[in-house]
Amino acid sequence: MKLIFNIKKTLYNAKSSFRRFPIAMYFSLLSAALFIIGNKSGQKNGYNNISTRYGFLFFMAMICFIFLGLFLEGLKTRAKDEEDLQKYKLIKLSSQILLLPILYGIKENMLSMEESLFSYNNSYKYFGLLLFLIISSFFIGKIFYHKDYIAYVIKVISAIFFSMLYSVVLFLGFVAIYSALTHLFGVRISSNVYLNTAILIFIPFNFGILLSNFPKNETSLANFELTKAVQVLLSYILMPIFSVYLVILYLYFAKIVFIGEIPKNILIHLILWFSIFSVIYLFILGIIKNSKVINDFRKYFPILMLPIILLMFYAIFLRVRQYGITENRYFVIIAGIWVLVSMIYYVFYRSNSNRAIPILLSLTILISTIGPVSAYNISATSQNARLKKILLKNNMLNGTKIVPKVDVSDEDKAIISEIIRYMCRTHRGYEQKFVPIDFSCSDEDMKDVFGFDYSTSYDVYESLYYNYDSEVSIDVENYSKLLLIDSYSDPNDSKIVGNYKIKRNSNLIDIYINTENSKKELVTIDMTDVKNKLKVLKKSKEIIDPEELAITGKTDDIEYKIVFTSLSFYGDETNQDNYSCSFYLLTNRND
């Protein structure tokens, strides 16, 4: 009964959203209505229609007025007399009027009918501004008073969680009803009905619940305390997890230092996401004041994170130096900068309200998506600079005009082709320097302008090859058996060679010994390690001794040695299946 009472109370309180944020809630209804109209029109004419565009515009307007409403609430709390209250009313009216030309500018610059919906950098600008306003809504109401700021943010997160929970449950309830009508009574319900139901639930209903539970600025949260269960989660579960993960990163850091291994591309994402979650975790821990363990953790953890973050920047630098900046790499860099500054902030300002963290994040989002140093503009500048460099290297540039040339190395052809593909795919034609204005990115235009066809679809310059030089001997002392084994690009490759089973699993090759009654693992080859070692050797010498790539070891009483005869790594480094190899397996086993 108590649960039903709480649900009824929450739904009833949702009406307060219209009193607290009237304009925003009316825009939420308009946005949902236009999305539904656009959805119906989109079934016939595609979703690139005016109704859908205005749906996105009014959705943005809703977020803008929520942001403004929270700011005005914070401003109102500073009014001490009637004169201050009159100033507040004047600011409220003028700011609401000022939002109208801003929304018109958003319509013209981000949702114009002249281009496809969210084409080119329109998506960055629209969703960047949207995310900026959402993140800013976490602190704009507390811009004048922030002593209880961490508790305020936790209340906001709780409001978001419960509004989403209500919305998901309600939507699943409608799905169940539609499914029952279809299966029991044969009523045909189109996918359009499901989509329209989701629009109504997750826009006006969801925001109605959210805003009714959004903490008010004048409400003091100075005595707010986390529940015992949440404190246990933060102190005794999450803290050990974060600590162990940090130790693992340091062990890998030591491996890089002692072995001289080039950092893997995946390392960037592993560190970045861990760092982002660490910033959030340290932010929430700031509300717990009476725990020595937590205070020590908040004191030393940010300091220990700094070398790991610098390692991440080194790995990013290697990628950017070789392939230039793209939008994705830009966002990784800008997120890394935010994480680094946040950790430095935690080192020196542990006792603060931590309001600077979301403020810095919102500004970072705004700068990286809108303006001259946005991800879109910087990536275009970077790739044009790469193209200029490679054209000058091959004497293919006369002023700003490209001189066609046939005798260009395969590697340079691949680089040029990849830059042109990238610019054609993600940027407007006039943003490509050096190519003619009427360049259409077709195969014919490519050959006419550069003198050669597009290179192969994968990145040739990312490829890595090795073949055994038969003039170099292999040391077979202490081994009595030799088998030649091939592993090609099939990720599920599995074969039997003599009494040995070779099983391929992504970047790992497992070798087992088969006996009459059992199967015993002999060795697992990590092909990522082999690739990284080959890269280092390729840079230092022209001819590689097979012994330098060999893998030796002992399992029980069986000694083994793996000597590679050929290696091929190609394509995107994030795809660990893109390799093939062959090798000799030497053992001291006489079966």
SS3 537: helix
Give the pLDDT means over successive 10-residue stretches in the chain (591 positions): 61 79 96 92 65 94 96 87 88 93 92 80 93 96 86 93 95 95 89 93 95 86 85 93 95 80 74 95 90 92 95 88 89 96 91 87 96 92 92 89 87 87 86 86 87 64 69 81 75 74 84 78 87 81 83 87 86 63 85 62
At 302 the pLDDT is 96
Q: Of 206, 183, 213, 343, which is closest to residue 271 (Cα–Cα)?
A: 343
Give the start-to-end residue ranges of the domains of the chain. 2-213, 228-371, 376-459, 464-587
d(CA 155, CA 216): 10
The string over 22-47, giving b where at least 16 C-beta atoms fall within 10 Å of a residue's C-beta and e elsewhere, is: ebbbbbbbbbbbbbbbbbebbeeeee
d(CA 179, CA 188): 10
Question: What 8-state DSSP symbol labels residue 567?
Answer: E
Question: What 8-state DSSP symbol labels residue 477?
Answer: T
Distance of CA 573 to the CA centre of its chain: 16
At 520 the pLDDT is 83
At 540 the pLDDT is 72
**Distance of CA 22 to CAs 36, 66, 212, 236, Å?**
22, 9, 12, 43
At 588, list the tokens. Answer: 């001291």
Instruction: Work out whether the CA dihedral 555, 513, 510, 583 comes out positive or negative.
Output: positive
Q: Of 546, 573, 562, 550, which is closest to residue 487 (Cα–Cα)?
A: 562
**Distance of CA 333 to CAs 54, 256, 316, 381, Å?**
33, 21, 7, 16
User: In a 10 Å sphere around its CB, with 0-12 CB exposed, 13-18 middle and 19+ buried, how is residue 478 labelled?
Assistant: exposed
Q: Of 514, 420, 416, 500, which is closest to residue 460 (Cα–Cα)?
A: 416
d(CA 558, CA 551): 14
At 274 the pLDDT is 95
Q: What is the 3-state secondary structure (H, E, C) of 431-472?
A: HCCCCCCCCCCCHHHHHHHHCCCCCCCCCHHHCEEEECCCCC
